[in-house]
Amino acid sequence: MVTARYVHWQDGEMWLGYFEEFPDYLTQGESLAELEENLRDLYRDLTSGEIPGIRRVAELSVG
C-alpha cells in the first residue's frame, strides 16, 4: 500500500487539502471523506506521468 502525507483544513462548508510533496496542487470536498477521495484522484493524476512540468518538494542532505 502506498501512502502520501497531506495537509487539510476546513474553510466554511468546504474541506481543502494538498499533498506535502505537491503543494501547488490543491483540491477540495464537501466532507473530509470527499476530500480524501478527490486527493486519491489527484495523486493518480500527478504520478501518472501524463501531466508535464509538475513541481515537487524534496529533501536533500547537505551535511
Distance CA 9, CA 18 (A): 10
* DSSP-derived secondary structure letter, 49: S
How does the average pLDDT of the chain come out, rounded?
A: 96
The pLDDT assigned to 57 comes to: 95
Nearest Cα to 38, choosing from 30, 46, 27, 48? 27
The pLDDT assigned to 25 comes to: 97
**pTM of the predicted model, to two decimals?**
0.88
- Delineate the domains of the chain, giving CATH numbers in brackets: 1-63 (3.30.160)
The pLDDT assigned to 41 comes to: 97
The pLDDT assigned to 58 comes to: 93
